[in-house]
Amino acid sequence: MTIWSDPDQLLQRTLNRPPGILQKALKAGLRLPMKAWRTSVDGLDRIPASGGVLIASNHGSYLDHFFLAFRIRRPVNFMAAAELFSNPLAARVLSTLGAFPVRRGERDSRSVETAAELVRSGRLVVIYPQGGIRPSLEPTKPKAGVGLVATSSGATVVPAGIIDATTLHRSGFLRFPRITVRFGEGSSYVDTAAHEVAEIVWEKVVELNLRGH
């Protein structure tokens, strides 16, 4: 078994190697395609320039990683579905770009702890409280992972709304519906139960989406 087919080794690689030049190049290259969706980004100044940060966002399309990250100047790590890493070549590319695997539909304590360790070490991590791509904001119950990472790391949690990513599935990826990314005010949740944090953060994400374009 190689590192690219071993989830534990991929997680360790993420801890040891921050995203580098390949992610920077991808972000630069995304500037032009993002114009096709008339993508606007609000609230970038709400993302701390240094220190551990956890960005929590809704997840309506496969392109959400790109919508969120292309204007963030800091290196970004992402939790991503473990099945995306099933091919060793895909695993190598995703890992190099800053993604790390999480097993959806079960308590993946190893991935949650990896995310917490990343933010404890001063990194920026994106997590999706919905646990996967969802066609709408409601009805949904946020996964506990965002609360567990927030409470165990003491990270600043910045809510984000991608408005309206779900239209990419309803209207088709080539029709280019307008997309707005909105970042909210960051908060820390050291003395709050993890499940309560997950609900509080998710309410903020929903609120950002309901503001519309």
pLDDT tens, position by position, 94-146: 999 999 999 876 677 999 999 999 999 999 999 999 988 887 887 678 999 99
pLDDT the model gives residue 75? 97
Q: How many CA atoms lie within 13 A of 183 on its CB side?
A: 23
pLDDT tens digits along 6-52:
888 999 999 999 999 999 999 999 999 898 889 999 999 999 999 99
* More reliable by pLDDT, 147 or 174: 147
Q: Residue 87 has what DSSP assignment?
A: S
Q: Is the pTM of this model over 0.75?
A: yes
Mean pLDDT (whole number) for 162-172: 73
Residue 118 region by backbone torsions, left for phi larger than 0, else alpha for psi between -120 and 50, else beta: alpha
Q: 3-class DSSP state for residue 198?
A: helix
- Please report the domains of the chain, with CATH numbers, ordered by start residue: 3-210 (3.40.1130.10)
